[in-house]
Chain A
Amino acid sequence: MKYSIAKIILWMNDENSYRRELKFEEDKVNIITGESNTGKTAILHIIDYCLFASRHKIAESKINENVAWYGINFKINNKNYTIARKSPNKTKTSSDYFFSSTGEVPGLPLSNMTEGSLKEILETEFDIDKDVTIPFGGRALKANSKISLRYFMLFCSISGDIIQHSEVFFDKQNDNRYREALPRIFDLAVGIETIENILLREKKQNLQAKLAKIEKKNTRVSEKKSEFYDELKSITSQAREFGIINEESETLASVESLKSFIDTGISQAYSEKGSRLDEIISETSFLERKIRNLTRFQSAYNEYKSSLNVIEDSLRPVEYWKSKDDIVKTSIFDDLISSLEDDLHQIKQANKKRTPIDGKTSDEIAECKRLIKELEEEAKALPKKVKSFSDDREKYIFLGQTKTKLDLYTSNDDCDEITSTKEIEDQLSSIKVIDTTENRDLCIKVLEEIIQGYMKLVEPSLENYGSYQPVFNYKDKKIDFRKPKSTYIEAAGSSSNDMFKHLFMFLGLHELMLTNNSKHVPSFLLIDQPSRPYYGEEANLSEKRLQHSDKAKVIDAFKLLDNFIGNILKDMQKSFQMIVFEHVPKDYFDDFDNIHVVEEFRDGNALVPQEYFDSLHHNS
């Protein structure tokens, strides 16, 4: 899924409502480099906050205390959106959201959206509809509940907490929900499993259950048939005496005509049910009309775009009122039309490059279809026609008795016939479900192959592991190194190697997702300070500690990122954006084509720059 952040916006708290903007480029490794405590990591938390975080980690001092609203301006599937969220009050997150479907960045945002509706808009872009559900339940997550788009964002960040962790490769794994979500969405995200395949599998299971039920019934039917037949004989002979059925007909045929006789007779008493049938027919046709409209609305999207591009000076409304003769032309008609024409022309121009918001049409269509099915089921139980019936009292009594007997022997699920299973068997054989275990093995192989390529690229930096084989541990979702021609998995202990493993896995997964055309995960990656292992944990960092050999490793890490973007752009013809926070000097990135240094947070420049604080003092 195409996704890139164009701007991060902070609306400050002061009366001049100063605005801090950071601009990022598409298809680049965007780097913000600088000293610690300048708000680099806060950017990661701000993005998370704007995309519905229920808790936040934005630093209170210097940042949150001065900010009124946080916002991101981003492109998703070629649409330009702005989302802003009111800043949290200490730990309490806000439910005030601003949304612009055209990417407008307002002077000061106003609350114009609720979280629920905003999520729906984004879910459409993440291709999440009611079919994208949690496949199996856990303690925190229920089976068949909808997958949150935030789970897919797990693939889009390597935070400072985990980048040199030797076991944990994904963010937020200390949170139950996210820990349970990861194995449940992994296959879907990576493209091992597709929605179509899940639905096919469900359909197959339903059909198999249906088949089993029919087969069971068929056995019961054939057992009962013989004893049933004797009883039928006596009933039909009695019916013949009453002259209800034909003297000569066969026993089974007689039962049929007897049954229909009873049905029509009884339906007489319930003739008012006919009106319900009319209701059902009209409701069904209403729903069908709704489906047609929604389907057209869904497909109108492309038509709409192309209609905006037809010949510049022709406007559809103008054509329309020119061709209409039921419009009265008063003295102001010409002025009215010409000013409308001008305005519509401007609107057309303005909308040429924009796309309307997309709702979840497919969910609504599915709901209508479900209702139709319900109505159809109900209609089945109702008699189609009501015939008049006039006969004597005794016959009614006989009909009642016969019905009881027939009911007794024909247990409700009309077991008088052996149901054919051919249709279901044909359907079953036509459904081809892709075996995920096979697909998974294949995907893992591809992933390892991709990673092998990355390892070659930075071989010297991996020291003695350079010639090892990468192994993707599917169960724990992590990368290990295997000694060539052995099954021995080595615990390559240094934090430098752990950092490289993280990069390998995330880049590899994204490349795999792009190959598989996975629609759910944004082509975006945010990395918090890959050079972390070479600085140590101390707060007081000095550039001198970065020894010559370590410098080469840092540069290798960036070579890897630069190479990745280049490969995605040139070889795969796709799109990808990275945002990386760093500490190393700017000149490290001089030799790379796909790296863009956004800003340097040094000498007073920061997320909230010193200048801003100085200006506050001036005013007060």
Chain B
Amino acid sequence: MRTETLNNLAFSSLAISIVVEKSQELELTKALLIMPFIAHKELLSYLANGRTQIISLDKLIIDKLHCFSNFNKRYYDNMSTSLNAIQFLSEMDMISIDNSRMISIKEVEHSNSVGDRLKRVSKASNNISKILSEDASSLYLNLRIEI
């Protein structure tokens, strides 16, 4: 399936807003990292598991190395969708952008009908937000995103 179809605008904008809501505030550079985390099925299930407690990205990478081997590729595959989603969220007044940070304004209301994948994102959002609290340059470094 094409990335654009699986991670369509509706899904990705909701997914991003869920994570931003958890963090309250998030740098734009970090927001681009949300989709690549979610786009890996095994990694998402691991992060959504109630027993998983992330203490640092370094440890996560060491424990789940194979989930990160193509992170750079996932980053670029998802970039258009992420950028569109961010613009969409801003147009819908779900978030505001100030000084290259996204600020959550409105709470996302998602019912049970949103689908299993989005529910999993919601469960994983705590862990993802924890990971994204690390310094942006360290995140880009250890996720090996080529810039």
Contact = CB atoms under 8 A, between A and B. Distances in A.
Interface of A: 99, 101-102, 111-114, 117, 120-121, 290, 293-294, 296-297, 300-301, 303-304, 307-308, 315-317, 320-321, 324, 326-330, 332-333, 335-336, 339-340, 342-344, 346-348, 350-351, 354-357, 359-361, 364
Nearest to B64: A359
The 4 A-B residue pairs with the shortest CB-CB distance in the complex, in nearest-first order: A339-B100, A350-B137, A297-B69, A293-B69
A290 B58 CA distance: 21
Q: B interface, how many residues as a size bin?
A: 35 or more
A17 B97 CA distance: 37
A101 B74 CA distance: 23
B55 A112 contact: yes
A120 B62 contact: yes
Given A101-B142, A112-B55, A343-B27, A330 B90 contact: yes
B137 A317 contact: no
Interface string B84-105: 1011101100000101100000
A297 B146 contact: no
A356 B138 CA distance: 8
A327 B32 CA distance: 14
Nearest to A368: B66
Contacts of B142: 101, 356-357
A614 B61 CA distance: 45
Nearest to B55: A112
Interface in B102-147: 136-138, 140-144, 146-147
A113 B88 CA distance: 38
10 contacts: A297-B65, A307-B146, A317-B79, A332-B87, A336-B28, A339-B97, A343-B100, A347-B147, A356-B141, A364-B65
B68 interface: yes
Contacts of B65: 294, 297, 359-361, 364
A537 to B, nearest CB: 46
B146 A326 contact: no
Contacts of A342: 100
A330 B87 contact: yes
A473 to B, nearest CB: 41
B87 A351 contact: no
A324 B147 contact: no
Given A297-B144, A336-B86, 16 more contacts: A99-B58, A101-B138, A102-B138, A111-B55, A113-B58, A114-B59, A294-B65, A304-B144, A316-B146, A328-B84, A336-B83, A340-B29, A355-B141, A357-B58, A360-B62, A361-B69
Nearest to B65: A359
Interface string B39-71: 000000000000000011011011101101110
A101 B55 contact: no
Contacts of B7: none
Given A332-B90, A357-B61, A343 B28 contact: yes
B62 A357 contact: yes
Contacts of B100: 339-340, 342-343
B73 to A, nearest CB: 9
A99 B87 contact: no
B141 to A, nearest CB: 5
Contacts of A121: 58, 62
B80 interface: yes
Given A293-B70, A357-B62, A327 B80 contact: yes
Contacts of B147: 307-308, 315-317, 344, 347-348
A333 B65 CA distance: 35
A98 B84 CA distance: 38
B137 A347 contact: yes
A117 B29 contact: no
A121 to B, nearest CB: 6
A117 B137 contact: no
Contacts of A340: 28-29, 32, 100
A307 B27 CA distance: 23
B19 to A, nearest CB: 17
- The interface residues of chain A, by DSSP majority, are classed as helix
Contacts, number: 138
B99 to A, nearest CB: 8
A351 B145 CA distance: 11
A357 B57 CA distance: 10
A117 B144 contact: no
Contacts of A364: 65-66
B11 interface: no
Contacts of A356: 141-144
A317 B83 CA distance: 11
B29 A320 contact: no
Contacts of B141: 101-102, 351, 354-356
Nearest to B101: A339
Contacts of A344: 29, 147
B27 A293 contact: no
A620 to B, nearest CB: 35
A465 to B, nearest CB: 51
Contacts of A112: 55-56, 58-59
Contacts of B8: none
A445 B43 CA distance: 54
A99 B97 contact: no
B96 to A, nearest CB: 10
Nearest to A112: B56
Contact of A359 (B61, B86, B88, B99): B61
Given A350-B137, A351-B141, A117 B80 contact: no
Contacts of B29: 340, 343-344, 347
Interface in B1-42: 4, 27-29, 32
Given A330-B87, A330-B90, A297 B138 contact: no
B144 to A, nearest CB: 5
A332 B62 CA distance: 38
Contacts of A293: 66, 69-70
B68 A297 contact: yes
A351 B80 contact: no
A133 B46 CA distance: 31
A268 to B, nearest CB: 37
Nearest to A296: B69
Contacts of A294: 65-66, 69
B55 A320 contact: no
Contacts of A361: 65, 69
B62 A304 contact: no
Contacts of B66: 290, 293-294, 364
A316 B140 CA distance: 13
Contacts of B76: 317, 320
Contacts of A315: 147
Nearest to A99: B58
